[in-house]
Amino acid sequence: MALFFKRIRHELLISKRFGKYTLYAIGEVLILIFGIAIAVQVNNWDQRRRNIAVEINILKSIKEDLHSDLSDLQFGIDLHTEGNASSEIILNHLENDLPYNDSLAYHFVTSFIVTFWMYNSGSIQSLKSLGVNTVTNEKIRSQIIQLYDLR
């Protein structure tokens, strides 16, 4: 193809048709500009596609972390609920001056359960390193920022 254009260019110069040569040169420049524009557009499209894939992966990861945090919190709530029930049983024994029995030992232990909760922060750290603007939806981005700023 390059040889074809070279031959046309050479023939126009030899035959001293400068007007046609100028028109040909302008056409060649326009083809070059058009090709570069297409290449830039394809590159932009590919970059957008990759950015969307990264955003989706980050959001899925944050969702998984939140589900894990929720189940950890529910487990802690269940333990504290059981501890409160044991405390009520112990209080009832003390207030009614009931005799000690072996089941109270379990309730004494259960009433002093302490839980510590640490949220999963891997996904939010990844998002921070990529830049919070990776999340394109403004509402979701502000909710994520608000949630993790409270923590």
Q: Which amino acid is residue 146, in one-letter code? A: Q
Contact 111, 86 (CB under 8 A): yes
User: 3-class SS at 116?
Assistant: coil
Ordered by start, the domain boundaries in the chain are 2-150
Q: Indicate the pLDDT class of residue 151, thresholds 50, 70 and 90.
A: low
For residue 151 the two structure tokens come to 């923590």
Q: What value does the mean pLDDT take over residues 106-118?
A: 87
DSSP state of 74: H
Residue type, 102: D
pLDDT of residue 22: 74
Q: What is the mean pLDDT of residues 90-113?
A: 89
Half-sphere exposure of 99 toward its Cβ, with a 13 Å CA cutoff?
Answer: 1
pTM equals 0.69
Distance CA 105, CA 111 (A): 10
Residue 111 has pLDDT above 80, yes or no: yes
pLDDT in tens, 36-65: 999 999 999 999 999 999 999 999 999 999
Q: Give tens-digit pLDDT for 7-18.
A: 766 666 666 666
On average, the pLDDT of the chain sits at 87
Q: Give residue 26's pLDDT.
A: 83
Residue 1, pLDDT > 70, answer no
Question: What pLDDT was estimated at residue 12?
Answer: 62
